[in-house]
């Protein structure tokens, strides 16, 4: 199985290198070369779901035009078998192979993007992409589908057009793992991968029980180190230690919704000390009002989320979280991108 995972990593790394090196007119060729005809691409709002022939002109070409000299800076790169039990593609041993890349796409923000005004300065687009690879083919597999989560509000903030009310956590360009060991380019220990996945599953089980008799502090302490770091999305921010995580996000989040429905995940796996998942959507939530300035509602709103974790010993130490907040608010009739029209942009310096 380790050979299969390594082949999947090689396929994705080659694909990334070609995408990163390609000019506008070459991106279509790269996608046709590496992806299957039925390639399914998921992305944050306003991109949402795209067919293969639309990915280049809708996402990559405008992005590379806006961010000149675009550079991929990976912090986490892992592969594994999808462990989502109810995936109808998985029966018995026929589990699908996925690769995750997380980090930043950095470039010179020289042209407007999605209406966000250019700054002429370097800018960082935080991203996490899940990629499924068909490794049954000889000589390298084809990419079957991808889920590309990017922190668009993070670019807005760098351009001086913060669309959200004051957030509870810290806003910053987020670093990679403290251990600098997130790039699993070599084969990882299967037993370590199993430990990580088991711990993530235990944490998910605890998290899903909002009626737990334990205090939130005691609940989190079962699976998290006290000095854990929660790297949240722009609009919520990052928190350090269990105590501050509760005050600055988890406690606030739980108190902001009267009901929630867990919709499951599309993909979940671990390799070595890292693992994670994404859903489409993960959750449906009914707000009581107050969260990020939201009004109360009797409706459920869907939330698409990515979580990437680092395990340290017997507990989790770091968690990078991506939430498609533009989609979450669009369901309520709120266009976050349009808010920049009423805000003062950062001074352009090029």
Q: Taking a C-beta distance cutoff of 8 angstroms, is the pair 96, 81 a contact?
A: yes
Task: State yes or no: pLDDT of 133 exceeds 80.
Answer: yes
Residue 148 has which token pair? 């590309």
Look at residue 94 in the predicted model and tell me its pLDDT: 61
Question: What domains are defined for the chain?
Answer: 2-158 (3.10.450.50), 190-338 (3.10.450.50)
Which of the four pLDDT bands, split at 50, 70 and 90, describes residue 214?
confident
Look at residue 134 in the predicted model and tell me its pLDDT: 94
- Residues whose CB falls within 8 Å of the CB of residue 119, separated by 6 or more in sequence, listed in order: 109, 158, 159, 160, 345, 346, 347, 348, 349
**What average pLDDT does the structure give for the chain?**
92
Which of the four pLDDT bands, split at 50, 70 and 90, describes residue 209?
low
Beta-carbon count within 10 A of 293 CB: 12
């Amino acid at each position: 199985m380790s050979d299969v995972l390594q082949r999947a990593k090689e396929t994705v790394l080659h694909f990334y290198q070609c995408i990163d090196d390609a000019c506008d007119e070459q991106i279509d060729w790269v996608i046709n070369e590496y992806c299957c005809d039925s390639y399914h691409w998921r992305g944050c709002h306003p991109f949402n779901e795209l067919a293969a022939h639309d990915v280049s002109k809708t996402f990559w070409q405008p992005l590379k035009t806006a961010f000149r000299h675009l550079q991929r800076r990976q912090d986490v790169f892992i592969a594994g078998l999808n462990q989502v039990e109810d995936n109808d593609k998985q029966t018995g041993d026929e589990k699908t192979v996925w690769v995750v890349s997380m980090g930043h796409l950095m470039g010179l923000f020289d042209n407007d993007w999605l209406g966000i005004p250019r700054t002429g300065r370097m800018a960082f687009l935080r991203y996490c992409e899940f990629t499924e690879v068909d490794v049954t083919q000889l000589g390298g597999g084809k990419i079957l589908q991808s889920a590309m989560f990017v922190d668009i509000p993070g670019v807005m903030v760098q351009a001086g057009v913060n669309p959200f009310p004051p957030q509870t956590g810290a806003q910053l360009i987020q670093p990679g793992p403290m251990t600098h060991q997130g790039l699993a380019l070599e084969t990882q220990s299967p037993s370590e991968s199993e430990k990580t996945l088991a711990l993530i599953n235990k944490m998910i089980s605890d998290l899903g029980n909002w009626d737990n008799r334990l205090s939130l502090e005691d609940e989190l302490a079962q699976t998290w180190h006290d000095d854990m770091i929660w790297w949240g999305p722009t609009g919520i921010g990052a928190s350090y230690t269990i105590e501050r995580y509760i005050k600055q996000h988890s406690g606030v989040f739980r108190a902001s919704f009267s009901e929630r429905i867990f919709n499951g995940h599309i993909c979940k796996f671990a390799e070595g000390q890292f693992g994670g998942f994404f859903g489409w959507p993960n959750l449906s939530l009914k707000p009581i009002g107050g969260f990020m300035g939201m009004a109360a509602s009797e409706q459920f709103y869907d939330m698409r989320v990515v979580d990437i974790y680092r395990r340290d010993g017997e507990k989790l130490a770091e968690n990078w979280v991506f939430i498609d907040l533009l989609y979450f608010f669009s369901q309520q009739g709120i266009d976050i991108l349009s808010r920049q029209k009423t805000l003062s942009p950062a001074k352009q310096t090029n």
